[in-house]
């Protein structure tokens, strides 16, 4: 057994944009002493318009960079990237890699009607890996209705988290699901966590939401704890010094700074570093 000395290497978290900030916040809340390295790959977004090979190459380039920075684990905080690249990443790297999976099974277990809805990007819903994973999680527990939301991630990136336009979008996406008796909605894109408050206001009282950021943070904790990879041992009080949050973006740093002020305002004195990466060439 490894000794229980603390490992203060950072946990890497990345997304095509700001959606993964919801996951980063959940990790930071659960493991407040851990250092985090967050990459917003906004210069390459949207991932959904890229080929599977392009997404895999990009993900490998990001994880390569995180490995050079000493990351002890990586969270792929993007549904599209998880579906396209998680298998390849796990085969290539020895460090723990956690992806984002739709919360279909808990949604069906919670559903009274036996019908749940999944809101996701068109590319995620079109992914065979995503469809297969949903079927596996469903295990004949009920029926899943999928709804592509082509404009929603970009709307959230633009910080339109409320207002008439965003509400109209959500009503348009939800109406076909509600008409089929859906009583639980699964948010199948990490971006969507930021419009969950608006969704809860406009949905009928009998319809609940399932997001995945807390489940991802818990899975990360489970993956790291057996190997004593956490910066503080489980069952002990977190250190008085919170973990450092490093922020990088391949896109516009000023835009990312404005997004951060709205989506994660509690980060103290954030410093955003530009990141320039070329897609990895995969054999």
d(CA 211, CA 213): 6
| Torsion sign across C-alpha atoms 16, 19, 24, 26 | negative
* Residue 152 Cα distances to 28, 105, 187, angstroms: 26, 24, 11
Contact (CB, 8 A) for 87 and 131: no
First to last CA, the chain: 36
Largest CA distance in the chain: 57
DSSP state letters, 8-54: -PPEEEEESSSTHHHHHHHHHHHSTTS-EEEEE-GGG--GGGS-HHH
Beta-strand ranges (E) seen in the chain are 11-15, 36-40, 73-76, 97-98, 115-120, 143-148, 184-187, 208-210, 245-249, 272-274
- Of the candidates 136, 156, 132, 137, the residue with the CA atom closest to the CA atom of residue 210: 137
Q: Which residues are catalytic?
A: 78, 189
């Amino acid at each position: 057994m490894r000794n229980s000395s603390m490992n203060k290497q950072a946990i890497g978290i990345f997304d095509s944009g700001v959606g993964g900030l919801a996951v980063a916040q959940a990790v930071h809340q659960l493991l407040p002493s851990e250092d985090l390295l967050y990459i917003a790959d906004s210069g390459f977004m949207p991932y959904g318009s890229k080929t599977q090979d392009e997404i895999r190459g990009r993900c490998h380039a990001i994880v390569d960079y995180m490995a050079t920075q000493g990351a002890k684990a990586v969270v792929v905080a993007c549904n599209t990237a998880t579906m396209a690249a998680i298998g390849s990443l796990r085969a290539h790297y020895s460090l723990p890699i956690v992806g984002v999976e739709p919360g279909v099974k808990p949604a069906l277990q919670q559903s009274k009607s036996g019908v749940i809805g999944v809101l996701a990007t068109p590319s995620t819903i079109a992914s065979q890996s995503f469809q297969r994973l949903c079927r596996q999680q469903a295990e004949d527990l009920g029926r899943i209705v999928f709804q592509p939301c082509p404009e929603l991630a970009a709307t959230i990136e633009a910080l339109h988290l409320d207002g008439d336009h965003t509400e109209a979008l959500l009503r348009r996406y939800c109406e076909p699901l509600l008409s089929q008796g859906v009583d639980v909605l699964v948010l199948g894109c990490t971006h969507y966590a930021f419009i969950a408050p608006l969704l809860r206001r406009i949905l009928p009282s009998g319809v609940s939401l399932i997001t995945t950021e807390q489940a991802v943070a818990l899975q990360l904790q489970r993956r790291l704890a057996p190997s004593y990879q956490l910066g503080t041992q489980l069952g002990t009080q977190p250190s008085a010094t919170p973990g450092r949050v490093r922020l990088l973006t391949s896109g516009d740093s000023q835009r990312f700074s404005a997004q951060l002020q709205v989506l994660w305002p509690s980060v103290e004195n954030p410093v955003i570093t530009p990141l320039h990466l070329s897609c990895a060439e995969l054999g």
